[in-house]
Chains A and B, each alone.
Chain A
Amino acid sequence: MTVTDAQRGGSVAAPPRAASAQDAGPRARARRRRRDHLLFAAFAAPNFFFLLVFAYWPVVYNGYLSLTDWDMISPVKKFVGLTNYVDLIADPDFRGTLWTTVLFVVGIVAGGMVLGLAIALLLNQKLRGTRVVRTLTFAPYVLSGAAVGTLWLFVFDPNYGLIRPLMAPLGLTAPAMMTDSKWSLFGLVVVYLWKNTGFVAVVYLAGLQSMPRDVYEAAALDGASAWTRLRRITVPLLSPVTFFLLVTSVITTFQAFDVIAVMTGGGPGTSTSILSWFIYDQGFRAFDAGRSAAGAMIMFVVLLLITGLQARYLERKVHYQ
C-alpha cells in the first residue's frame, strides 16, 4: 500500500475515527500523529507569529540599527559598525546616565525590599485589619504610572502639595522636589517605592506564611529574641523569595519609564535621565536611531546577564537541596 492509499482509506473510515483509532494499525496511528502535529502548529501559530514579529525580530533588527547612523527619515541607513557603542562609552553624558540608572535601580530595589519585608512582617501578625491593609498597599501597584506621576507631582508641589502641611510641623520647608536636581532622583525613588512596595510585601507575606513553624518554636524555647529569630531564621529561609524579588525588581526597575516621563522628562538637566529615558529620548526626540538602538542593546545585555544569574542560582539551589 502506498501512502496515498492509506490516506484515502483513512478518509473513507473517517466518521467513527476516535473509536477506531484506538485499535487501528500503526499506519493509522502515524497518520493521526501527523494530523495532531499539524493541529499543534495551527493552535500555536498565532501566538508565535505575534512574538516572532513583535518580540524576536525586533531584537535582531534593533541590533542592526545599533550599527547604523540614521535619522529615521533618510532612505539610507549608513552602516557605521560599532561606532555608536564606542561613542556612547566615550560620552561622559552617557556614563552619567548609566550612573544615574544604577542609583535609581539600587534605591528602588533595596528600599523596596527592606520596606516590603518590614510590611510583610507586620501583616503576618495576628492583628485586625491586616487583610484590608494588604489589599490597600497592593493597590498602587496596579495603577497607571502616568496617573501616579501626575498625582505625585501635586503631592510634591512645594506650595500647594501634601508635602507642605506634612513638613511644616517639623519646622521644615518643602523642597522643590521635582524641579531641583538635588532632589529629583530621590523624589522619583519615593514615588516608585510608594507604587511598588505593596507588591514586594505581598510576595514576602506569602513566603512568610509558608514557613515551617516548628523552627520558630524551637528558637523561641531557646530564648532567642525576636530580632535574632528574624536575622537567623526568617531572613535565611526567605532567601529564595528574596532572590526572586531581587531579579524581577531589577528587571522592571530598569525599564521604568511612565512616571519619569510624566514627572521629570529626564530632568531637570540630566538628573533623572536613566537608560530607559535615554533610549526614548535619543530615538523619538533626537531622531538618532543608531544611538537609541545601541542604548537599548546595552540594556538588553545587562538584563540578560541578570536573568542568567538567576538561572544559575536556581540550578545551584536544586543541586544542594
Chain B
Amino acid sequence: MSTLDTATRSPGAPGTAGSTGTVRRRAGRAGLYVLLVLVAAVTAGPLYWLVSSALKTTPDIYSYPTHWIPTDLRWSNFTDAWNAAPFGRFFLNSLVVSVVGTAIELCAALLCAYAFVFLPFPGKRVLFMVLLGAMMVPGHVTLLPNFLTVAQLGWVNTWAGLIAPGLGSVFGTFLLRQHMLTLPKEVMEAAELDGAGHLRRLVTIVLPMSRPMVVTVAVVVMVTKWNDFIWPLIVTSSAEMRTLPIGLLFLKNQEGFSNWGPILAGTVMVIVPVLVVFFLAQRHIIAGLTQGAGK
C-alpha cells in the first residue's frame, strides 16, 4: 500500500508525450499553488483587515483609498475600548465562566464515562442511549425553561447562573468513554488486586492514560464556553456580569458605526485568546471537533 502511494501521484495519463506532459504538469502545479494562496488569502484576509485596522488612527480607518498597512500604530484604540466598556470585568467573567465551568463539566464527564466503562449497572446500554439523546435537544428549546429555572434560583446576573445550564456533558462523556474502552484491561485488574478503589483507579490509572483525550475535551469545552453567546445574552442584564462576546455586542451598539477603532480593538481582544489557544492546541482541537466523522 504505502509503496504505491508515490506511484499513484507521479505519472500523468499513460501515453502523454514526455516534454509537453512535463510542461502541462508544471503549469497545473503552478495553478494549484495559486489556488492554495487564494484559499489562504480568503481566510486570513479578513483577520488581517481586523488586526491592522484596530491599530490604525481614526482618519486612516475612515479614508479611501485604503491604507493597507497602518502607518503609525495606534494602541489607544485598545485603551479607548477598555474605557468605553468594562472590558476588564468582561475578561474576568469570561475567564471564570469558561475555567470553572470546564472544570466542573470535565469532572462530571470523567466520573460518568468511568462508570459506563468500568462499573456494572442494570440497563446500562439504555441509560447510555438516554445520555446521547440529550445531544438532540437544541439549545433554543431550553432557553425559556432554563431562564425560568435560573431566575427562580435567584441566579440571574451571577456567575452561577452563567455556568450552571452548560454543565451537562454529552460530547465529552462520549469521547472519554470511547477512549476508556480502549485501555488495556490487565492494568485495571492489577490495580483491583492491589485493592485500589474505583476512585483511586480513576485518578491514578485511567486519568493519566487518557491524558490526550482529556486535554482534547477540556480545550474544546473551554473554547465553546468562551464563545457562548445566546445564554449569557439572556441571563445577564447588568454590564458588570457580561462576558466578552456580549460586551462586544453592547460596545458595538453603543459606539455605532462612527467609531470603528475601539470596536475593532475590542473584537481583537475577544479573538486573540482563542486564536492563541487554537494554534497551540490545534491538533487536539481539530481532532476533538471532527470526532464522529470517522465513524
Contacts and interface: CB of A to CB of B under 8 A. Distances in A.
Nearest to A119: B39
Contact of B252 (A137, A150, A157): A150
B29 interface: yes
Interface string B272-295: 001100110010011001101111
B293 A255 contact: no
- Chain B interface bracket (under 10, 10 to 19, 20 to 34, 35 or more): 35 or more
A43 B111 contact: yes
Nearest to A56: B134
Contact of B122 (A37, A223, A241): A37
B126 interface: no
Contacts of A144: 226-227, 229, 244-245, 248, 270-271, 274
B145 A257 contact: no
Interface string A27-46: 00000010011011101101
Interface residues of A, number: 102
Contacts of B167: 50, 54
Interface stretch (B8-16, B178-186, B209-217): B8-16
A50 B107 CA distance: 12
Nearest to B29: A127
Contacts of B61: 160
Contacts of A50: 105, 108, 164, 167-169
A55 B112 contact: no
A257 B143 contact: no
A interface majority secondary structure: helix
A137 B111 contact: no
A3 interface: no
B interface majority secondary structure: helix
A20 to B, nearest CB: 10
Nearest to B119: A40
Contacts of B131: 47-48, 51
Nearest to B40: A133
A245 B142 contact: no
Interface string A230-242: 0000000000010
Interface string A137-151: 111111111110011
Most A CB atoms within 10 A — which of B43, B64, B227? B43
Given A48-B131, A54-B167, A258-B229, A202 B139 contact: no
Contacts of A165: 64-66
Contacts, number: 298
Interface in A237-265: 241, 244-245, 248, 251, 254-255, 257-258, 261-262
A59 interface: yes
B192 A279 contact: no
Nearest to B196: A18
B194 interface: yes
A299 B141 contact: yes
Given A217-B8, A241-B293, A155 B46 contact: yes
B33 interface: yes
Interface stretch (A87-95, A99-107, A181-189, A300-308): A300-308
B164 A54 contact: yes
Given A150-B266, A258-B227, 18 more contacts: A37-B121, A40-B119, A44-B112, A44-B127, A55-B168, A61-B145, A61-B148, A122-B35, A125-B32, A143-B271, A147-B245, A151-B271, A202-B290, A203-B293, A251-B138, A261-B249, A293-B144, A299-B140
28 contacts: A18-B195, A40-B119, A47-B111, A51-B168, A54-B146, A119-B39, A122-B35, A135-B286, A136-B43, A143-B271, A144-B226, A144-B245, A144-B271, A146-B245, A147-B270, A150-B252, A151-B50, A154-B260, A160-B62, A160-B64, A164-B66, A199-B290, A213-B1, A213-B4, A217-B7, A292-B143, A292-B144, A303-B138
Interface of B: 1, 4-5, 7-9, 11, 13-14, 29, 32-33, 35-36, 39-40, 42-47, 49-50, 53, 61-66, 105, 107-109, 111-112, 114-116, 119-122, 124, 127, 131, 134, 136-149, 164-170, 173, 192-196, 198, 223, 226-227, 229-230, 233-234, 244-246, 248-249, 252, 257, 260, 263-264, 266-267, 270-271, 274-275, 278-279, 282, 285-286, 289-290, 292-295
Shortest Cβ-Cβ A-B pairs, 3 listed: A50-B168, A146-B245, A58-B145
